[in-house]
Structure 1
């Protein structure tokens, strides 16, 4: 467990230091970039870590010998192309994982850098988003990283980059398309243009990506009535920040458009809870809820600044958020049914 706790400790200490001193947010600090490299190496060079490790090895072997065109004709074309590239360069699956880790971490840092305490934001994500999702669901984690970066581009009014990042996210995992309406629907600027482009893009992505994804999802998930272990716990982790945000959203110092985005995320989190109760397959709801995890990073990372102590940074709330996040990591590593696939941690460098 030591490598996981080392990763958490780096960002926890950074969060405490940042809350005491504060720094310029215009660009990532060298220390934050160095810590981001640690995330990339931990995710990208992991060895036989994660419940789906063998499934990804099967995919890697399956596309061996395919051309780039043949690989990209399969589902999740961007991910398949990376596998083909690794075979072309005659290297193992670590290259695929490393590139995906770089993309995910870049999106995470872009997102965190727009928060009051980037270190705290990432520390909140270590126990589940980084350790469980990024080290377990390579394709969807890469898509989540790109969605986080797309969120920031949308808020900045960089709509071309937003659309490009979303298309790329869908190319890694088609389910990324499902989260797009929550973002586009929050627009308060250039609504007609954005809605028109969003509608055209949604139609295009549906026929290119989502149609086959939905078909396989209904066949594999609904027909078989599959359930993800621990789906209720993961969805409950989104419920807490959703409620915190909805009852005190005016305390979060963001633009009106960003308020609407996170309001949509909060309502979607509550809807996932209802969906978990009424749907025959928790897997469908669970996979969609993974894209709502940034709500945890946003709300908990900003909590000390939403409730400041006498107009100063609230060090006690920073400590509370870190203790809560550490508790999540303890509970998952010790009690999660599939934690055995993450223990012990192995790395190609070791």
Structure 2
């Protein structure tokens, strides 16, 4: 897969329209590759336990309620456990696209993302992949200096994986320049995020 992706990048050098076509093709192929895997990923068994527990219990004691509700929705729709990978892959791919589409060379973003983000994260940690996909929207909001959207997407991401809440420490920097006061404010928001989660 990776060699083919690299070859696509090599043969399309200097040809913007072709690289763009390769980008959309590979984005779809990688969505399928990640979403329709079976028994792949170090957390496969752990997420299967969560899936089965959400069939038995209506609520969860964890703070990641959105992930619990997603599992409950799959039960309601009578879909088997592997479909959570499809949802996770879809959200992750959509988020990655939000980042890539703003770059001058989208295909290179996929090539660079494949070894770590796609293989090590999206194909292993389902909650983390969903959270990262949503955080991509937050990162774009940060670039756009949209405080409300940045905070909103970060909070939604943290409902799938609490570690996403750490990015709340960036909110003081959405608007304005770096200063000692903003750094202290960012550090204190990090502490508040840990207390909440």
- Say yes or no: does 1:63 pair with 2:63: no
Moved over 6 A (4+): none
- Deviation of the 1:211 alpha carbon: 3.7
| Contact persistence 2:151–2:168 (CA under 8 A) | no
- Which residue of the partner structure matches residue 118 of structure 2? 130
Change (3 A) 1:188 1:96: same
The 8 Å contact of residues 42 and 124 in structure 2, kept in 1 or not, is answered as: yes
Please, what is the CA RMSD of the aligned residues?
A: 2.8
| 1:136 partner SS | coil
Deviation at 1:18, TM superposition (A): 4.7
Q: Which runs of 5+ in 1 are unaligned?
A: 1-5, 214-350
Q: What are the residue-to-residue correspondences of 1:145-164 with 2, within 5 Å?
A: 145-164=133-152
Quick one: structure 1 residues 150 and 16, their matched pair in 2 at CA, closer, same or farther if it must change by over 3 Å?
Answer: farther
For residue 185 of structure 1, report the CA deviation from its aligned partner.
Answer: 4.5
Structure 1 residues 115 and 14: alpha-carbon distance in aligned structure 2, compared to 1, 3 A threshold: farther
2:160 paired residue number: 172
Q: Which has the larger radius of gyration?
A: 1
Aligned to 1:21: 15
Aligned partner of residue 78 in structure 2, secondary structure:
coil
User: Structure 2: where are the runs of 5+ without partners?
Assistant: none
- In 2, distance between residues paired with 1:18 and 1:165? 35
CA gap of 1:120–1:135, structure 2 versus 1, over 3 A, is same
Residues 153 and 162 of structure 1 are in contact (CA less than 8 Å); yes or no, is this contact kept in structure 2?
Answer: yes
| Alpha carbons 1:43, 1:98 under 8 Å: kept | yes
1:113 to 85, 101, 125: 101
Per chain length, whose mean CA-contact separation is higher, i.e. which structure has more relative contact order (CA < 8 Å, sep 6+)?
Answer: 1
CA displacement at 1:76 relative to structure 2: 1.1
Distance 2:45 2:8 in 1: 35
- For 2:137 and 2:48, locate their aligned partners in 1 and report how far apart those are by CA, in whole Å: 28
Normalising by structure 2, we get a TM-score of 0.81
The aligned counterpart of 1:47 is: 38
Q: 1:187 to 1:153 in 2, by over 3 A?
A: closer
